[in-house]
């Protein structure tokens, strides 16, 4: 596929890989520079939830609309990645259950949103008897899903490479190249890469490449495995309760997540394990017998207003796809489509997500 459009992308997370893949499918020449290994950042650390009801309860309508649009794209996106890569991504529309003590608020939300159903505590217990009785009911979000984010990262990298994209692992962008006031490429310790456009998709590290209001927000998670004689096998929906979420994944139960602003520190703490286990056991008491299988941390890309940065920057030739905070997996198909269209000049940024809503670097 010959093209006169050359794009250089900084960062091979879910954002950089999926936008790069879509651009490549549209005929652009795409090179992705990745400081470490593909999909080893927040994309790897994530819980892979495609979560609307719990994550977006207080979000502005523009973000809720974007999330709904992305959720609708997810089944086709997952299928296409699997077909192109030959790898399963574990997309499951298993629904989500949000446990709460506030029956009135839950009934109100269910009345206002046809995607949500209010279940009484008895109805919840009848369907999921392993759950504790410490709640007055649950909101059932039947359209919600989750994906194996680690498998997704691997599959996206393969799909991008199979489409003819160029991926440079262990090669960090250290500077941008300017011609006059326009950015024309990226410098790495080894060489320079020219492009008609550069896309910055470096997750929580985006603000280290250019001045951007993106800050790292640390999250620790754990995975539990059942004992051989476990009384129950939890393969049901994602469950939210007690300030944590439980995600069934490949025979394990993922429990997340802490939220801390401590810079780029990703050290692991025993306190986080205790906190997550205690909360998980308050939701499902039988988890007390489950074994700790893994403990990890990752950095979410946060922004001052909690909304993503998607679109052109103050610098000519430089686009941004960052600041997805807790929703980078949920948003992935919609971001891939929007950013690929925008970079090709076929779409305008969404005002509320326009990176230029924040001031640029001082001249």
Ligand X SMILES: Cc1cc2nc3c(=O)[nH]c(=O)nc-3n(C[C@H](O)[C@H](O)[C@H](O)COP(=O)(O)OP(=O)(O)OC[C@H]3O[C@@H](n4cnc5c(N)ncnc54)[C@H](O)[C@@H]3O)c2cc1C
Q: Does 33 bind ligand X (CB under 6 A)?
A: yes
Shortest CB 211 distance to ligand X, Å: 14
Give the shortest CB-57-to-ligand X separation in angstroms: 15
Q: Minimum distance from CB of 124 to ligand X (Å)?
A: 22
CA distance 2 to 14: 25
Site residues (CB under 6 A) for ligand X, limited to 328-357: 328-330
Buried b (16+ CB within 10 A) or exposed e, 196-235: bbbbbbbbbbbbebbebbbbbbbbbbbbbebeeeeeeebe
- Secondary element (H or E) of residue 333: helix 332-343
| Residue 13 within binding range of ligand X, rule CB under 6 A | yes
Q: How far is the CB of 5 from ligand X (least distance, A)?
A: 21
Q: Tokens 């992705």 map to which residue?
A: 32
Beta carbons within 8 Å of 98's beta carbon, 6+ residues apart: 53, 54, 106, 138, 139, 141, 240, 241
Q: Is 15 in the site for ligand X (CB under 6 A)?
A: yes
Segment contacting ligand X (CB under 6 A): 9-17, 71-79, 189-197, 354-362? 9-17
Neighbours of 100 (CB within 10 A): 17
Q: Is residue 173 within 8 Å of residue 119, measured between CB atoms?
A: no
Measured from the CB atom, the residue of 119 and 152 that comes closer to ligand X is: 152
* Residues 245-304 interacting with ligand X (rule: CB under 6 A): 256-257, 298-301
State yes or no: residue 173 binds ligand X (CB under 6 A): yes
Assess 150 for contact with ligand X (CB under 6 A): no
125: Cβ contacts below 8 Å, ≥ 6 apart: 131, 133
Kindly list the residues in this chain that would bind ligand X in the complex (CB under 6 A).
Answer: 10-16, 33-36, 40-43, 45-49, 172-173, 201-205, 209, 219, 221, 256-257, 298-301, 322, 324-330
């Amino acid at each position: 596929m010959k093209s006169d459009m050359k794009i250089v992308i900084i960062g091979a997370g879910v954002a950089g890989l999926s936008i790069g893949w879509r651009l490549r499918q549209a005929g652009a020449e795409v090179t992705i520079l990745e400081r470490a290994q593909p999909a080893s950042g927040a994309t790897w650390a994530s819980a892979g939830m495609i979560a609307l009801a719990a994550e977006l309860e207080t979000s502005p309508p523009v973000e809720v609309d974007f999330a709904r649009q992305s959720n609708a794209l997810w089944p086709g996106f997952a299928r296409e990645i699997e077909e192109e890569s030959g790898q399963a991504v574990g997309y499951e529309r298993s629904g989500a259950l949000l446990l709460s003590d506030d029956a009135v608020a839950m009934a109100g939300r269910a009345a206002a949103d046809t995607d949500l159903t209010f279940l009484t505590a008895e109805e919840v217990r009848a369907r999921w008897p392993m759950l504790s009785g410490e709640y007055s009911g649950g909101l059932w979000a039947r359209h919600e899903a989750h994906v194996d984010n680690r498998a997704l990262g691997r599959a996206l990298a393969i799909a991008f490479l199979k489409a003819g994209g160029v991926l440079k692992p262990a090669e960090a962008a250290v500077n941008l190249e300017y011609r006059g006031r326009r950015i024309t490429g990226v410098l790495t310790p080894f060489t320079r890469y020219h492009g008609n456009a550069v896309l910055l998709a470096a997750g929580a590290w985006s603000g280290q490449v250019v001045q951007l209001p993106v800050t790292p927000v640390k999250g620790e998670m754990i995975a539990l495995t059942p004992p051989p004689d476990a009384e129950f096998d939890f393969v049901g929906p994602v469950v939210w309760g007690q300030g944590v979420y439980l995600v069934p994944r490949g025979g394990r139960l993922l429990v997340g997540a802490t939220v801390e602003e401590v810079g780029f520190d990703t050290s692991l703490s025993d306190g986080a394990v205790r906190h997550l286990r205690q909360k998980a056991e308050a939701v499902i008491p039988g988890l007390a017998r489950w074994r700790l299988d893994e403990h990890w941390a990752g950095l979410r890309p946060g922004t001052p207003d909690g909304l993503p940065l998607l679109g052109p920057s103050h610098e000519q030739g430089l686009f941004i796809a960052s600041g997805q905070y807790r929703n980078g997996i949920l948003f992935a198909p919609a971001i891939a489509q929007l950013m690929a269209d925008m970079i090709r000049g076929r779409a305008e940024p969404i005002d509320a997500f326009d990176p230029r809503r924040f001031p640029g670097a001082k001249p």
